[in-house]
Amino acid sequence: MRRSSGDSSVSIITLTSDSITPITVQYVVMIIDSGFFAIQQSNKAQLILSNIEFIGAGTVKQEGLALLLIEYSSFRLSTNISTISPFIQAIRGQLEINSCSFGTSLETNLGSPAIQTSSQCTNIKFKQTIFSNLHSIITNGEQKASGAVIEMGEKTEFEFTDCTFIHCIDSSSDIQHSTGAVCIILKSSDSLIHQYSDEQTIQSTISFNYCQFTGCIGGSSGAIQSISNQSQLNLRLNIIIDKCSFDNCGNENSIVGACSFNGQSEYNNYGEISVTNSRFKNCVGIKAGGILFGENMQPINARNNVFSIINFEQTKCLVTTDIFFSSKELLDQAGGISSILQGYKYEQNQQQSTIGQIKIQGFSSNFAPYLDCATRNGTEQCEQIPCGLELNIIPEQCEYIEDEDKDQECQQKCVPTLITPINECGCLTVNDPRQECKQVCIPKKDSLINEDCPCFLIGDPRAACKKLCIPDKETEVNDQCPCLDIGDPRSECKKLCIPDKETEVNDQCPCLDIGDPRSECKKLCIPDKETEVN
């Protein structure tokens, strides 16, 4: 079945709103360049699409209240095109996807998530479905993900069971709203704002059971991210993750490697998160590798999870923190870290003395060794309890010890926002949200230092740019804070030239204090008229 590239508003199949007879379509191939494969508009009659091969940048759209079931089907693009709309879009009603595949063994370029659902949907289920090699660069919409962008409303129930996400990568420029596989948004309907009192609490649930995430990468999170965008109701989002695996998720430009959960405090509408019986392997990010329990997200259960880092040398400059808690208060309300993380384990690399990391905002203690020991041996055989483990302990009651990292490159990681100055946080090679970073150089270790590519104060890999200080106009020039090669605000550091190896040393172009390529300038000292000869 083929539809020509004429009217993109027309679909191959439409079940209209007044339809009352269920329809099943099976064992066909549907090919379109754009527009709609099928539209379900009926409130009473089911539409079943079985054993269908969907080819092209088309959409199956759910607009009715009756069930839309897609089973044993595949979605892929034809040659040399990319999507501008989702493969499946659900506006409201019920949707079930069973034993389907999205993408192929080759890279599929997307300009929209493969799946997009709205907060008016009631019941959605994905079973035994594979998302493979989906690579997205999305310019429209607030939230981005190559696999699925899901709005959770006050009546939404969503299930992923035995689903696989392989190499789902989002490279959208907005790093704060970029997820590799699945982005979850809590969003209420404006029409229901006045139907509930301030005391009522409405809960929506999304669950992931027996799912696999491999090589998923996004700017904010590699595998799963949740965000609360609403503040009108006591609407709480419950996220349940059980018996899932996360392998090689995130990279050096991801804020979190695998799972990131963030909420809002207004109207007490934070979420409740349960991540249990799951495995995290080689997941890395800038802030956390495994799980980030962000602001106003209550970690009600994170038991029996196993973490491991095998490729230690490849990840030594990245944060591989297994779990990071942003709120000690919410953690204690849920029973405390010892209760929440019962059964926590990390697997050691036999070649490297790697250990796990569990951190709480405001505390310098690493809770992982003690919790791992308690799991394996019982608390009686473990060393001293780290400060902050007990209930109701606040950061002021514990000594804070700064991490000592001898590798200067590892100390220079930063997470930019749209307004972060470049001289405070150098441009990321990909996914940098700042417009200026699309126009300036991104230096490598051997890049020249000049007006077009000056030293960044943080994150510059060039040896001459790794200074011990960040000077202002009043900073004294000395051994601890020599002149920057370029861009130094101090008057005595404003040289008249940028020399190369052949540049003559004279009054107009004297030796630079550091980084001068001329052989006669590579001395143990740089004398002036008063310098003693010794």
Give the per-residue pLDDT at 424. Answer: 65
Amino acid at 322: D
CA-based nearest residue to 328, from 422, 395, 255: 395
Point out the least confidently predicted range of 141-145, 245-249, 478-482: 478-482
Point out the least confidently predicted range of 217-231, 315-329, 370-384, 406-420: 406-420
- Torsion angle in degrees (nearest 10) through CA of 249, 253, 259, 262: -170
Q: What are the respective helix, strand and coil percentages of the chain, to the nearest 5? A: 10, 30, 55
Task: Taking residues 106-114, report their average pLDDT.
Answer: 89
Calculate what percentage of the chain has a pLDDT beyond 70: 74
Task: Taking residues 468-495, report their average pLDDT.
Answer: 70
Question: N- to C-terminal Cα distance for the chain?
Answer: 91
Residue 134 pLDDT exceeds 60: yes
Give the per-residue pLDDT at 166. Answer: 96
Encode pLDDT of 16-32 as tens digits.
Answer: 999 999 999 999 999 98
Tokens describing residue 362? 């405001």
Encode pLDDT of 56-70 as tens digits.
Answer: 889 999 999 999 999
How confident is residue 108, by pLDDT bands cut at 50, 70 and 90? confident
Give the per-residue pLDDT at 90. Answer: 96
Tokens describing residue 211? 């799912």
Instruction: Look at the block and give the residue holding tokens 């230096």.
Output: 443
Give the per-residue pLDDT at 440. Answer: 53
* Cα atoms found within 13 Å of the Cα of residue 381, Cβ hemisphere only: 7
The helix (run of H) or strand (run of E) holding residue 368 is helix 368-377
How confident is residue 11, by pLDDT bands cut at 50, 70 and 90? confident
Point out the least confidently predicted range of 133-147, 172-186, 260-274, 361-375: 260-274
Residue 438 pLDDT exceeds 70: no
DSSP state of 411: H
Tokens describing residue 347? 């697997």
Q: Which carries the bigger pLDDT value, residue 472 or residue 155?
A: 155
State phi, psi for 128 to the nearest 5 degrees.
45, 50
Q: SS3 for 195?
A: helix
Encode pLDDT of 395-431 as tens digits.
Answer: 888 887 765 444 444 544 566 666 777 766 766 655 5
CA distance 219 to 180: 8
Q: b or e along 228-263 (b: 16 or more beta carbons within 10 Å of the residue's beta carbon)?
A: bebebbbbbbbbbbbebbbbbbbbbbbbbbbbbbbb
Q: Which carries the bigger pLDDT value, residue 319 or residue 421?
A: 421
Residue 277 pLDDT exceeds 70: yes
Task: Taking residues 182-188, report their average pLDDT.
Answer: 87
Residue 177 pLDDT exceeds 80: yes
- On whether the CB atoms of residues 100 and 79 are closer than 8 A, the answer is no
CA distance 111 to 103: 14
Amino acid at 419: I
Residue 469 pLDDT exceeds 80: no
Tokens describing residue 395? 């950061």
Give the per-residue pLDDT at 231. Answer: 57
Give the per-residue pLDDT at 384. Answer: 80
CA distance 182 to 308: 23
Task: Taking residues 146-166, report their average pLDDT.
Answer: 93
Task: Taking residues 271-286, report their average pLDDT.
Answer: 93
Q: Which carries the bigger pLDDT value, residue 394 or residue 256?
A: 256
Give the per-residue pLDDT at 61. Answer: 95
Q: Which carries the bigger pLDDT value, residue 82 or residue 404?
A: 82
Q: Which range, 305-314, 411-420, 427-436, has the best average confidence (pLDDT)? A: 305-314
* Residue 210 C-alpha from the chain's centroid: 21
CA distance 294 to 67: 35
Give the per-residue pLDDT at 477. Answer: 78
Q: Which carries the bigger pLDDT value, residue 289 or residue 467?
A: 289
Q: Report the chain's mean pLDDT, rounded to a whole number.
A: 82
Q: Which carries the bigger pLDDT value, residue 342 or residue 2?
A: 342
- On whether the CB atoms of residues 93 and 62 are closer than 8 A, the answer is yes
Residue 349 pLDDT exceeds 70: no
Residue 279 pLDDT exceeds 60: yes
Residue 300 pLDDT exceeds 60: yes
